[in-house]
Structure 1
Amino acid sequence: MELLLGLMGGAIGGNVAGGVMKHAGLGFIGNSMAGIVGGGLGGQALAMLDAGGAGSIAGGGDIGAILGAVASGGAGGAVLMIILGLIRKMLVR
């Protein structure tokens, strides 16, 4: 469930970042795809960092785990979309 929430958060984060950085945006589909990939990677990276620690992102249905999964996915999606958008912009020149 956390992976799905991270992917959805990533899609949202990618589109928000694309809207904010219009010059580096990849379009709706591109922003969404980059966000989904980044959301999955960001969520997995955060889960590996937790590795048996507090467990707030590793399971449970509490609001903290849900918000953590969405936030980490959104941040990962936004970061990857910005990186890919800037690379694309540099290559177009």
Structure 2
Amino acid sequence: MEFLIGLLSGAASGTLVGKLVSKLDQGTLINAAAGLMGGGLGGSLLAAYNVGSGGTGSLDLAGIISQIAGGGVGGALILVFVGIIRNVVAK
């Protein structure tokens, strides 16, 4: 369940960052896809290091907040990376 939270927050952050920073906007679908990948990666890294959760995959408040934060940051970072690469290749 926490992995799903990370994916959803990553997709939301990718879409939001894409709309807020016009140079990084790749369209809603690519923004969301990059956010999904980043959210999954960020959430998985947090879970691997037992950050913010009880270590057993429990759905406590700290686990949910850490997945939202990790997914959001991961989604935004992957979108920034994809945006920079696509802008460099387009030149």
Give the TM-score, by structure 1 length: 0.88
Shift >6 Å, 4+ stretches:
none
The TM-score normalised by the length of structure 2 is 0.89
- Once residues 56 and 27 of structure 1 are traced to their aligned partners in structure 2, the CA distance between those partners, rounded to angstroms, is 37
Identify the residue that residue 30 of structure 1 maps to in structure 2: 30
| Closer/same/farther in 2, CA of residues 57 and 77 from structure 1, 3 Å limit | farther
Say if 1:25 and 1:54 are closer, same or farther in 2 by CA, change over 3 A.
closer
| C-alpha RMSD of the superposition | 1.7
**Which of residues 62, 86, 89 is equivalent to 2:87?**
89
Which residue of the partner structure matches residue 77 of structure 1?
Answer: 75
Q: Is the 8 A contact 2:52 2:63 kept in 1?
A: no
Give unpaired runs (5+ residues) of structure 2. Answer: none
Does structure 2 retain, via aligned residues, the 8 Å contact 1:47–1:58? no
